[in-house]
Chain A
Amino acid sequence: MKSIKREHHVRLKEALAVAYREKEKAEVGELWQVRVMGHIRSLGSLYSQTSYLGLFERFVWQLVPVACVLVLLLGVAVTQLDLISDYEIVKMFMEDPADFSLLALYK
């Protein structure tokens, strides 16, 4: 198989670049523009899209302080309350099944 020498690459590139630029003349008519505008109108106004997004964003940001207060309250509640997990109940029952009663647990 033949190979293309280095100095020939430049010539080939130039010829291919001419071929690339020499594509047929292209124009689009008024009808095309009417069709595109029809499609754009069917998409609706950008104002409503952006305003809905803005409203959603404002709503989300208004909830942030409430969420922070809730996290703090839950944190305090977890540290203050003497919660017994299911795991601990099962562990107590397994260690001493004879004396175990649910009433004893809540005395």
Chain B
Amino acid sequence: MQNEPLKPSDAEIIRQILDGYINAFESLLTRYRDLVVNIVKKHVPYNDMEETMQDAFIRIYQSLPTFKGESDFRQWLSSIAVRTCYDYWRKAYRSREVPMSSLTDKHQNWLEEVISDQSEQSLYERGSRNEARELLEWALGRLSAEDRMVLELVYLEGLSGKEAANLLGWSVANVKVRSFRSRKKLQKILTGVMKG
């Protein structure tokens, strides 16, 4: 039985790219495509996902000379992907291209049902409903790009302040303060949705 050829390490591929062998980047692209898809799809609308991923990989390529190899490459690459998503929202909010769908009674009903229901199982089912996603998108659309990103990373994904700070390139204190404020803002927005 023949042994499979050893795959080159990330460091070897990076060295090849820096030596001028552009096609070696395709190996990194294939290796980390799914990781970047999983990051980008959580933060960016489906229609803009491919373009944002392309932007992320171009930034990764252009930033390769600055990668010193001291940190984990996956972590370094993830932080570029997250910052590309953050830039996407900054640009979208500046040009006022954030979709602002309107809410209906079914969204209000969903919110009140979630708050009143006691069953954990039904909580999961309720979270999977379309109304939940629409309401969440609607509420996030009313926050700034900074609040949105920190809320998604800390409040919805459950990352620690330090992890979110590493991904966004902010200080831990900044992430904690913004996380607290953005959570309050979200609660205020959702309280406003509830019927009087």
B127/A17 in contact, CB under 8 A: yes
Q: How far is the CA of A47 from the CA of B196 in the complex (A)?
A: 64
Q: How far is the CA of A63 from the CA of B7 in the complex (A)?
A: 45
Q: How far is the CA of A1 from the CA of B188 in the complex (A)?
A: 11
Q: Report the stretch among A21-29, A85-93, A94-102 that lies at the interface.
A: A21-29
Main DSSP-derived SS at the B contact region: helix
Residues on A with C-beta less than 8 A from B187 are 4, 9
Q: How far is the CA of A17 from the CA of B153 in the complex (A)?
A: 11
A1/B192 in contact, CB under 8 A: yes
Q: How far is the CA of A4 from the CA of B116 in the complex (A)?
A: 10
Given known A-B contacts A23-B133, A24-B46, A28-B33, A40 and B22 have beta carbons under 8 A apart: yes
Q: How far is the CA of A34 from the CA of B99 in the complex (A)?
A: 30
Chain B residues with CB under 8 Å of chain A are: 17-20, 22-23, 25-26, 29-30, 33, 37, 41-42, 46, 49-50, 53-54, 57-58, 61-62, 64-65, 111, 114-115, 117, 123-124, 126-129, 132-133, 135-136, 152, 155-158, 187, 190-192, 194-196
* A72 CB to nearest B CB, Å: 37
B65/A26 in contact, CB under 8 A: no
A3/B191 in contact, CB under 8 A: yes
Q: How far is the CA of A26 from the CA of B36 in the complex (A)?
A: 11
| A80 in contact (CB, < 8 A) | no
| A107 in contact (CB, < 8 A) | no
| A8 in contact (CB, < 8 A) | yes
